[in-house]
């Protein structure tokens, strides 16, 4: 096996922490961000939400919902997208992409919940929604689905840590067998839950037609959110690969490297189709809702920037990259596509939200809100690195080689 010198943790040396603790510039920046984040966390939970945010009565949801929740969940869509492609559609050549995608999806969702705790006035009461279920609320559906899906992702992901620890705790082998046997059930369960909560993130805003600009408000928002989450899922797999190949290249085995380019090209082609479809849907919706006159306004110009610059352009670039077999172009396009998704979620939740309010009452995130969001992203990256350095995610564990599931 071509290991590039992958350090497989052994029974006696379980942890491979050296790459996380060495004094590289990246690590030093990480430590600083984590330290600052910790301080803001203490302030947030001892002085109140108002002390670190610019939230108001008019804008009760700011960056923590707009970025950490809306974008976080959407960008973690790579998990369901990849597992469905591999297990349901039988595209076995994506197999090496499944574990990294499931890992990032699991981390993404886990930290969505962590970030949510900052935003809740009563973080410890989060489970109350199960005891006093407000079944008429879209938020209830979101909460229920995210909680269940997080559990599903945890089980799907658990194979990697179990393989990592199996030498020390052999009973984990039995658990692992069970999990692998129910993989397909988990996958189907997962895609159902994903459909529900990806779309219901869009449904959250259905209740506020007076607050969201007509170009973004639509009865079809749930569908828009779902369709764009598929494009986000495919794009995020490519986007993450871009960084993984820079940062943790030496942890990839030969299979992963061999399949990586194929994964990029196939996912780029899929994303291109989905983005085209999304573009058409949005455009037809705009015409049906008689929003054409709005296009002449500043909001219309902004909407066109989003639609042409961040939906149609990446669709075309993906199509070209996939046809020419140009992996580099596909990777660059994924940056644009991911930015487009973030822009769309920002528009719905912050920029075009409360568009009628005078500019003095408009919301702009405070520096501390931004810091917490950066802090959360840094925690995700650090957790991802820890996992990749220790667990068989980008390579197959030699003990379990050939045991595809």
The residues in 356-375 that bind other proteins, with binding defined as CB under 8 A, are: 358, 361
Which of 264, 272, 262, 270 has its CA nearest to residue 317? 272
Number of residues that bind other proteins (CB under 8 A): 72
Least CB distance from residue 185 to other proteins, whole Å?
9
Residues numbered 43-62 forming contacts with other proteins, rule: CB under 8 A: 45-51, 53, 55-58, 60-61
Which of 327, 399, 402 has its CA nearest to residue 173? 399
Three-state DSSP string of the chain: CCCCCCCCCCCCCCCCCHHHHCCCHHHHHHHHHHHHHHHHHHHHHHHCHHHCCCCCCCCCCCHHHHHHHHHHHHHCCHHHHHHHHHHHCCCHHHHHHHHHHHHHHHHHHHHHHHHHHHHCCCHHHCCHHHHCCCCCCHHHHHHHHHHHHHHHHHHHHCHHHHHHHCCCCCCHHHHHHHHHHCHHHHHHHHHHHHHHHHHHHHHHHHHCCCCECCCCCCCCHHHHHHHHHHHHHHHHHHHHHHHHHHHCHHHCCHHHHHHHHHHHHHHHHHHHHHHHHHHHHHHHHHHHCCCHHHHHCHHHHHHHHHHHHHHHHHHHHHHHHHHHCCHHHHHHHHHHHHHHHHHHHHHHHHHCECCCCCHHHCCCCCHHHHHHHHHHHHHHHHHHHHHHHHCCCCCCCHHHCCCCC
Of 18, 21, 136, 170, the one binding other proteins by CB under 8 A: 136
Q: Is 1 in the site for other proteins (CB under 8 A)?
A: no
Of 19, 66, 108, 222, the one binding other proteins by CB under 8 A: 222
Q: Is 330 in the site for other proteins (CB under 8 A)?
A: no
Q: Is 141 in the site for other proteins (CB under 8 A)?
A: yes
Residue 157 · residue 103 · CB < 8 Å: yes
Of 41, 114, 148, 189, the one binding other proteins by CB under 8 A: 189
Q: Is 182 in the site for other proteins (CB under 8 A)?
A: no
Least CB distance from residue 335 to other proteins, whole Å?
30
Least CB distance from residue 45 to other proteins, whole Å?
7
**Closer Cβ to other proteins, 131 or 171, answer by number:** 131
Q: Is 218 in the site for other proteins (CB under 8 A)?
A: yes
Stretch of 296-304, 306-314, 328-336, 396-404 lying at the interface with other proteins (CB under 8 A): 396-404
Q: Is 26 in the site for other proteins (CB under 8 A)?
A: no
Residues numbered 226-265 forming contacts with other proteins, rule: CB under 8 A: none
Of 138, 237, 286, 394, the one binding other proteins by CB under 8 A: 138
**Closer Cβ to other proteins, 214 or 309, answer by number:** 214
End-to-end alpha carbon distance in the chain: 20
Distance CA 339, CA 231 (A): 12
Of 139, 332, 374, 383, the one binding other proteins by CB under 8 A: 139
Least CB distance from residue 17 to other proteins, whole Å?
32
Of 29, 207, 301, 304, the one binding other proteins by CB under 8 A: 207
CA dihedral over 171, 175, 176, 181, signed as positive or negative: positive
Binding mask 274-303 for other proteins (x = CB under 8 A): ---------------xx-------------
**Closer Cβ to other proteins, 188 or 374, answer by number:** 188
Residues numbered 84-113 forming contacts with other proteins, rule: CB under 8 A: 84, 87-90, 92
Stretch of 201-209, 272-280, 296-304, 318-326 lying at the interface with other proteins (CB under 8 A): 201-209
71 contacts: CB under 8 Å, gap ≥ 6:
341, 342, 345, 346
Least CB distance from residue 189 to other proteins, whole Å?
8
Q: Is 206 in the site for other proteins (CB under 8 A)?
A: yes
Least CB distance from residue 41 to other proteins, whole Å?
12
Least CB distance from residue 267 to other proteins, whole Å?
18
Q: To which residue do tokens 């990849």 refer?
A: 82
Least CB distance from residue 255 to other proteins, whole Å?
8
Of 103, 199, 347, 390, the one binding other proteins by CB under 8 A: 199
């Amino acid at each position: 096996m071509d290991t590039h010198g992958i350090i497989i943790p052994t029974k006696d040396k379980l942890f491979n922490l050296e790459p996380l603790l060495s004094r590289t510039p990246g690590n030093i920046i990480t430590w600083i961000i984590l330290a600052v984040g910790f301080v803001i966390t203490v302030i947030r939970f001892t002085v109140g939400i108002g002390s670190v945010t610019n939230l108001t009565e008019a804008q009760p949801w700011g960056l923590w919902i707009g970025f950490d929740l809306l974008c976080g969940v959407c960008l973690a869509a790579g998990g369901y997208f990849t597992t469905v492609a591999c297990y349901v559609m039988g595209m076995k050549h994506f197999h090496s992409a499944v574990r990294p995608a499931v890992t990032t999806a699991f981390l993404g969702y886990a930290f969505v919940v962590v970030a949510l705790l900052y935003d809740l006035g009563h973080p410890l009461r989060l489970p109350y929604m199960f005891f006093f279920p407000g079944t008429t609320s879209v938020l209830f559906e979101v909460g229920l689905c995210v909680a269940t899906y997080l559990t599903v992702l945890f089980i799907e992901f658990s194979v990697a840590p179990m393989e990592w620890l199996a030498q020390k705790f052999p009973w984990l082998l039995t658990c692992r067998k069970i999990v692998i046997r129910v993989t397909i059930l988990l996958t189907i369960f997962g895609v159902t839950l994903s459909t529900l909560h990806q779309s219901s993130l869009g449904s959250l805003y259905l209740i506020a037609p007076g607050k969201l600009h007509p170009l973004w408000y639509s009865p079809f928002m749930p569908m828009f959110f779902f369709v764009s989450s598929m494009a986000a899922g495919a794009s995020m797999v490519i986007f993450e690969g871009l960084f993984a190949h820079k940062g943790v290249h030496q942890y990839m085995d030969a299979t992963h490297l061999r399949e990586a380019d194929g994964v990029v090209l196939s996912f780029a082609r899929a994303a291109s189709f989905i983005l085209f479809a999304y573009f058409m849907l949005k455009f037809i919706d705009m015409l049906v809702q008689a929003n054409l006159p709005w296009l002449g306004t500043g909001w219309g110009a902004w909407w066109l920037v989003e639609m042409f610059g961040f939906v149609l352009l990446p669709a075309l670039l993906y199509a070209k990259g996939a046809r020419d077999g140009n992996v580099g172009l596909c990777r660059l396009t994924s940056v644009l596509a991911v930015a487009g998704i973030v822009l769309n979620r920002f528009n719905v939740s912050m920029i075009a939200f409360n568009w009628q309010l005078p500019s003095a009452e408009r919301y702009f995130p405070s520096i501390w809100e931004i810091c917490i969001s950066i802090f959360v992203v840094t925690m995700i990256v650090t957790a991802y690195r820890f996992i990749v350095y220790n667990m068989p995610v980008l390579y197959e564990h030699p003990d379990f080689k050939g045991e595809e599931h």
